[in-house]
Amino acid sequence: MKTWLPLTLVVALAAGLWAWSPWQKADQGPRYRLGKVEQGTLSAAVSASGTLGALVTVQVGSQVSGQIAELQADFNTPVRRGQVIARLDPEAFETRVAQAQADLRAAESAAQVARGNLVVRQTEVAKAKIALDDAARNLARKRTLVAQQFLSPAELDTAQAARDTAAEQVRLAEADVAVTRAQVGNAEAIVAQRQAALRQAQVELAHTVIRSPVDGTVIQRSVDVGQTVAASLQAPVLFTIAQDLRQMEVNIAVDEADVGRVRVGQKVRFTVDAYPGERFGGEVTQIRKAPQTVNNVVTYSVMAAAANPDGKLLPGMTANARILTEERDGVLKVPNEALRFRPVNPDGSPVKLEVRGREEGPGIPGRVWVLGADRQPAPLALRLGVSDGKATEVLRGELKAGTEIILGLEEGSVPKPAPTTRPFGGGI
């Protein structure tokens, strides 16, 4: 009997606790998690992903076709403006220059001959004019002598014929001068053509030396020694040079629903997978109006400039960016969790809420719950402003910093509502 007595007392005590516990929980009712209204800084942001790139990227190509004879730059090579970074085989272009020089010398010789012929023709004109003057004087003398009947009229006719012949010789010599002058002009035009051809050949020869157009770093090399490049319709790209990797650009794809809140000059914070936990900063410099549509999702490219003094950021990295669209100081803010809370009955069923009427004023309507004097949830209507995803600004409402509000229910404080059952085969 003494052995069974303690066991009986334990069983009776356990049965009593089991019977009393549900009633105690029912008497207590729901238990709530509480939080406080805070006052401080609230930042609203647009989150999106983007791609890092150099602020200025230059593609260096070849303006002439040929075979790569020499490369003086490779990946990651720092280069200066005007520095030689590659050479094409110049043999064919040197031959063209020599041919153009020979053609120019021949044209200059032909022009010199034409100028000499012009001088000869001009001399012949002068001689013809002298002969014409002599024939004219002879004709005048003979007219006087015929008038005095010292010569016969036949002599006068002969002198007249000689004067007319001399005049025609002058006109013929002047025509020869005009023809020769035209020949000189043609020869000089050919000289100009040959000079242009020589300059073109020299320019093409100079283009066999590829120089860097900017100061920067080679981030891509697309050719090897011995490779032939053909510059027929489009200049082939030999190198890609980033002008200054200390200044980077972030191309952020912003959804069409958020792009209306983005402005030039807003701050940008972003992270990259290569440096987890480290944040980088930038500033919005451009909002491109060209839409990008992928799988029926429309985005716009927002460009942001970011400093990269340590060279950690590399072109092509993926950036997880947050664009700070609004920042408020000294505002009341409530946790978004409190705005989502809805009270329940002791049996776990939701409390029916009254429909809120439309209110005039700034912001959007919202509601939080506080514990009244009877420890029951009481609603407070609010007008809400910007949100950072965790907390929301309170524009108007009967709240102040430090006020306790309900965040949610404690786990296990109320029974889960029983699932609604329908009779077998019942309709909706």
Strands 228-229 and 267-272: unpaired
Q: Is the pLDDT of residue 297 over 70?
A: yes
Q: Is the pLDDT of residue 1 over 50?
A: no
CA–CA gap between residue 359 and residue 365 (Å, rounded) = 8
What does residue 13 show for φ and ψ, rounded to 5 degrees?
-65, -45
Residue 32 structure tokens: 């709530």
Query: Of 102, 274, 116, nearest to 183 (Cα)?
Result: 116
Q: Per residue in 358-411, pLDDT tens?
A: 556 678 888 999 988 777 888 888 999 888 888 999 988 888 888 889 898 887
H/E stretch holding 5 reads helix 4-28
For the chain, the distance separating the N- and C-terminal CA atoms, rounded to the nearest angstrom, is: 63
Answer yes or no: are the C-beta atoms of 102 and 201 closer than 8 Å.
no
Amino acid of residue 292: Q
The pLDDT assigned to 419 comes to 56
Tokens 């930042």 belong to: 43
Answer yes or no: are the C-beta atoms of 96 and 200 closer than 8 Å.
no
**Mean pLDDT value of segment 351-363:** 66
**pTM passes above 0.85:** no
Across all residues in the chain, what is the average pLDDT?
86
Within 10 A of 209 (CB to CB), how many other CB atoms are there?
A: 13
The pLDDT assigned to 2 comes to 47
Distances in whole angstroms, Cα of residue 11 to Cα of each of 1, 19, 377, 387? 16, 12, 40, 56
Within 10 A of 290 (CB to CB), how many other CB atoms are there?
A: 6
Query: Of 281, 391, 386, 323, nearest to 48 (Cα)?
Result: 323
Helices (H) then strands (E): counts for the chain: 4, 19
The pLDDT assigned to 23 comes to 44
Q: Per residue in 256-277, pLDDT tens?
A: 999 999 999 999 999 999 999 8
Q: Which domains, and CATH codes, for the chain?
A: 30-45+331-409 (2.40.420.20), 46-55+244-326 (2.40.30.170), 57-89+212-241 (2.40.50.100), 91-206 (1.10.287.1700)
Residues near 313 by beta carbon (within 8 Å), at least 6 away in sequence: 52, 245, 248, 272, 280, 306
**pLDDT band at residue 14 under the 50/70/90 scheme:** low
